[in-house]
Amino acid sequence: MTPENTSPVSDVVRPGRNTGRDIEHFVADLDETPLQVTDKVKDENAPLSLWGEAWKNLRRQPLFLISAFLIVIVVLVSVFPGLFSPINPQSEACQLANSNGGPSEGHPLGFTRQGCDVYARVIFGTQSSVIVGLFTTIGVIIIGGTVGALAGYYGGWVDAILARINDIFFALPLILGAIVLTQLPIFRANRNVWSLVVILVVFGWPQIARITRGAVVEVRNADFVTAARSLGVSRFRSLMRHVMPNALAPIIVVATISLGTFIVAESTLSFLGIGLPPSVMSWGNDIQSAQASLRSNPMPLLYPAIALSITVLSFIMLGDALRDALDPKARKR
């Protein structure tokens, strides 16, 4: 076989065979390869916490934006009613000459049967309804959150006793229990916003207590809680510093929805004549006084009912938006 007919396969360098030839290795420059760009990890942004991730998702939810906008308006109206109504029903008496009058200049919603301006009463009635709902919610969070946190974290006989007390109050309906309690002499002689708040807190805390207990039981056996206890952190300090901050999400959701429920409860009791006294302007009192002229002039009943419905619906929508944002299982990736 002549050298010209030699197959090129014979020139292939096989592993383990010493050919005596120097093999030149070619290594590509690192700057010319796209691997560093492909494998690069973006570390300029720190990972978001639960609340940061929730806020990021809430800003993209129309349900949250609409409900938050309506709640901001309701809060502004309740805090600064004089900015929205030039007429102050508390200082200006109603004129019987305007009884059941229709809309006119300066009175866009007409007048009630007693000649009171409907628009002014709806604006100034926001304050008492929102105060009752807000402070009742704060009260049930304090009482129910404390009972639920102690029962869920310590367990044992503490959980058994507090759970039975919770069951007793949980079995009593909110409205029915409030009706019974308002008939006591001490409450009948002191019918005001704060006495109604106390009554609603007495029967409203069991739901928050149950939610808090379940959230605490879920968090108390987490690794970071066990590590804190191993480092010598006391049980109470571990509860307040590590367990409760990580169990707040469901409590906030339920409390937001409950705020609307307490506003409805105040209006219901006032409508029945056992809530706020007639001298206190509220949506429930306006609805109760307007039912006498419902057939001839339904507008004085319709407008406070619409204001009540929008406010309660806003808090319910806000609670639904918070639930979707704070629940990792319901969050859309």
* 3-state SS, residue 117: strand
Per-position DSSP letters for 32-65, written without gaps between them:
G-THHHHS----SSPPP-HHHHHHHHHTT-HHHH
Burial of 145: CB neighbours in 10 Å, binned 0-12, 13-18, 19+: buried
Read off the DSSP letter of residue 23.
Answer: P
- Round to whole Å and give the CA distance between 214 and 220: 10
- Each residue of 11-49: pLDDT tens digit? 444 555 555 556 665 565 656 555 555 555 555 555 566
Domain ranges of the chain: 50-82+119-326
How many angstroms separate the Cα of 195 from the Cα of each of 50, 157, 266, 276, 277? 38, 33, 11, 9, 11
In this prediction, residue 13 carries a pLDDT of 46
Residue 15, number of CB atoms within 10 A of its CB: 4
Q: Is 213:250 a contact under the CB 8 Å cutoff? A: no
Average pLDDT over residues 223-240: 86
What's the mean per-residue pLDDT of the chain? 83
- As given in the structure block, the two tokens for residue 44 are 């300029």
Phi first, then psi, for residue 275 (nearest 5°) are -95, -115
Question: Worst-scoring range by mean pLDDT, 10-19, 94-103, 170-179?
Answer: 10-19
How many angstroms separate the Cα of 43 from the Cα of each of 33, 35, 40, 55, 109? 21, 17, 9, 21, 58
In this prediction, residue 42 carries a pLDDT of 55
- The structure tokens 């009972």 sit at 147
Rounded percentage of the chain residues whose pLDDT exceeds 70: 83
Topology, domain 50-82+119-326: MetI-like fold (1.10.3720)
